[in-house]
Amino acid sequence: MPTDTSSLEKADPRLQKQKRLLSFFFPRDPPVIPTENERQEFPLRKSNFIKRMFFWWLNPLLKVGYQRTVTPEDLYTLDDSMQIEKNYERFMNHLSPVLLKRQNEHISKKCAARNETVENSSVSRDEDLIDFLLPKLDLLFAVFKTFQYEYLKGIFQIALQCAGSSFSPLLLKKLTDFVEMKSLGLVSSSGKGIGYAFGTTLFIIFNSVTVNHGSYNTSASATKLNGVFTKALLSKSFNLNELGHHRFNEGKINSLMATDLNRVLFAGSAIAYVATIPISIIITLVLLITHIGVVSLIGVGVFLLSMIITISSVNYYMEKRLEAQKFTDERTTVMRDILKNFKMVNFKFQEQ
């Protein structure tokens, strides 16, 4: 017996059918919300080549979203490669040996400055590590080792798109020249024109596929890194000593999670595009010199000069932006501390 749509909507408002342009192609009743046991695992790795290439593995979820509002239960469960716990474990396996090595080196330098050995040190290990800072390159190395395959694949795909975008105007120029010659009656056969048209179309498809896959892989890596850093920050904050709580209060920790980790997420997605910019520049310069000649070096010089000026202005802007951000973070931290301890301040005021 068919289920009445209105009764379903009254039973669960989330099952309300959405009215869209092509809704008449879909069944009358919207899909039911799956239970926890009915949820499917992230299907990317289990899909065939064609579905992965064109992201058709998303079609079932998009079909549900077209008929009704998507709920958290409709989303896929994560496989091992996307779970924060697994990625955090891999990250710590790469970071822990380097961290221990740097800490031992720091303690050895401290002991040498006091004319002591590590075994006969008069200062505890924790006291020697108060001013210890892990070099940024070591942290970057651990991050790279954790996500190197997926991120490098994304960079390679974006590099292919840059190369394809740089070479595609050559084929488009051939097609334009052929159309002009065909309109003037200088060419009788259309074979080359059809070949140029197919080649141009393939270039467009190639560029679209590579840039979308590159964006997906780099963004997915950045999202996983954001999750790993969030878990590391929370794990560290739960084990802080008194000095740690003094140096990193709740306001500063919340600022790190809300502001700084969002910057990491954005930077992780943008670095891949920045890293592949030289590919387009080099190909473009070679094509200019090849087809125009040495005269194009004047334009190259103007381009390099403008790029130097732009980079210098951006560096100046970033310095001022960092100064403003530090002031904003300090002000936000103070306001959070005031709001957190407002009851105590009010109590002291009433006492006075």
Write out pLDDT tens, residues 280-333.
Answer: 888 888 888 888 887 878 887 888 888 888 888 877 887 887 787 777 777 777
Model confidence at 11, pLDDT cuts 50, 70, 90, reads: low
Q: Domain map of the chain by residue range? A: 5-77, 87-275, 295-352
**Is pLDDT at 342 greater than 90 in this prediction?**
no
**Percent of the chain surpassing pLDDT 90:** 40
Q: Is the pLDDT of residue 4 over 60?
A: no
Phi-psi region of 55 (alpha: psi -120 to 50; beta: other; left: phi over 0): left
Residue 41, beta-bridge partner list: 77
Cβ count within 10 A of residue 186: 9
Token pair of 153, please? 């694949």
Quote the tokens at residue 29.
């009743």
Q: What is the DSSP letter of 183?
A: H
- Amino acid symbol at 166: S
Tens digits of per-residue pLDDT, 83-139? 999 999 999 999 999 999 999 999 999 999 888 888 888 888 888 888 898 998 999
CA neighbor of 39 nearest in space, from 76, 65, 67, 82: 76
What's the average model confidence in pLDDT over 49-77? 93
Q: What is the 3-state secondary structure (H, E, C) of 122-164?
A: CCCHHHHCCCCCCCHHHHHHHHHHHHHHHHHHHHHHHHHHHHH
pLDDT bracket for residue 146 (50, 70, 90): very high
**pLDDT score recorded for residue 153:** 95
Convert the pLDDT of each residue in 70-84 to its tens digit.
999 999 999 888 899
Give me the pLDDT at residue 2, please. Answer: 47
* Spatial distance between the Cα atoms of 78 and 42, rounded to a whole number of angstroms: 6
Name which residue leads in pLDDT, 297 or 56.
Answer: 56
Q: How far is CA 51 from CA 45, 119, 202, 306, in A?
A: 10, 61, 18, 43
Half-sphere exposure of 201 (CA within 13 A, CB side): 6
Look up residue 89 and give its two tokens. Answer: 């474990």
Q: What pLDDT sits at residue 1?
A: 42
Q: Which of 84, 54, 227 is nearest to 62 (CA)?
A: 54
The pLDDT, as a whole number, for residue 160 is: 95
Residues with Cβ within 8 Å of residue 153, at least 6 apart in sequence: 217
- CA contacts within 13 A on the Cβ side of 317: 6
Question: What's the average model confidence in pLDDT over 15-19?
Answer: 85
Q: Tell me: pLDDT of 201 over 90.
A: yes
Look over the chain and give the mean of its residue pLDDT values, rounded to a whole number: 86
